[in-house]
Amino acid sequence: MTDPIRPTDDDARALARTLLSSATYAALGVLAPDTGAPMVTRIALATDPQGQPLTLISDLSAHAMALKANTVASLLVGEPRDRGDPLAHPRLTLQCRAHFTRHGEPGHTALAAHYLTLRPKAKLYSGFDDFFHVTFGIDSALLIGGFGRAWRMTAADILG
């Protein structure tokens, strides 16, 4: 078998950007605070004005407790929406660091307004004190285009 990693080109960058900008949700990987094991949960997703992944989560969620103990995270976006072979669908794995913006902190009002423009249903809970925004700073990425087609990328490849 041959190494599936290919040289990054503009088509691969465009695919990665489209997968991220069109995602309405993601699988979030964190480290469970009690065991250090990986833990994968679902979060709603949008992007901030710089194109970085952005979500809104509650202090009561398992992933919020984990991220507050350790901000290292991974995101998977690019979900099959049909019944075809799930491995044929492109997907993007991001290695990230989480940054929090809580009510009353600098930038919260603008970030919350931006998020609600993209995800208006979040208005139901955006104002609750226990909900806060998480922006994911991208360290690196792995794009899988389908069987045997993969690219390793930098934040610059994805954010432009």
User: Contact positions toward its own copies, by CB under 8 A?
Assistant: 1, 3-4, 24-25, 27-32, 35, 37-42, 44, 58-60, 62, 72-76, 78-83, 85-87, 89, 91, 93, 95, 121, 128, 130, 142, 144
| Angle at CA of residue 143, ends 71 and 84, nearest 5° | 115
For residue 39, the minimal CB distance to its own copies (Å) is 5
User: In whole angstroms, how close is the CB of 101 to its own copies at the nearest point?
Assistant: 19
Residue 89 has which token pair? 């669908």
Name which of 111 and 143 has its Cβ closer to its own copies.
143
> C-beta of 95: minimal distance to its own copies in Å?
6
Query: How far, in Å, CA of 154 to CA of 160, rounded?
Result: 10
Pick 58 or 110: Cβ nearer its own copies: 58
Q: Nearer to its own copies by C-beta: 79 or 159?
A: 79
Q: Is residue 26 within 8 Å of 75, Cβ to Cβ?
A: yes
Distances (CA, A) of 24 to 38, 54, 68, 135: 22, 10, 23, 15
Residue in the structure block whose two tokens are 């930038």: 107
- Amino acid at the residue 47: T
Query: Least distance in Å: CB of 44 to its own copies?
Result: 6
